Amino acid sequence: MEETRITSLKEFYPFYLTEHSNSTSRILHFIGTGLVFIALIAGFVLNWRFFIAIPFLGYGFAWVGHFFFEKNKPATFKYPGYSLASDFILFYDLLTGKQPFKVKR
């Protein structure tokens, strides 16, 4: 059976949300993305070496969420661009209350 390929961010984001339904995983994604922003600012203001930490902060927290709490494979492996964009969208949605940290199952 052939799998349907997602071809837009608009189509991908609802799928992304289903892959991030565990509240601990969402919290870990939020922390990791927040630290990415802090490291980005620190890299410009303090020292360029903070840029080195960005992938470890972003992916480290997210992958712990996926492997230990969601128990699924990160969408980054199949849709890296859409997944990265969705990480930032989810961060914004959690920050503004558009998405809850705790999802009703």
From CA 26, how far away is CA 90, in angstroms rounded? 9
For 5-50, write each residue's pLDDT tens digit: 899 999 999 999 999 999 999 999 999 999 999 999 999 999 999 9
For the chain, the domains span: 25-96
**Residue listed under structure tokens 């859409």:** 82
For 44-91, write each residue's pLDDT tens digit: 999 999 999 999 999 999 999 999 999 999 988 899 999 999 999 999
The terminus-to-terminus CA distance of the chain in angstroms comes to: 28
Ramachandran area for residue 93 (φ above 0: left; ψ -120 to 50: alpha; else beta): alpha
User: What letter represents residue 93's amino acid?
Assistant: D
3-state secondary structure of 83: helix
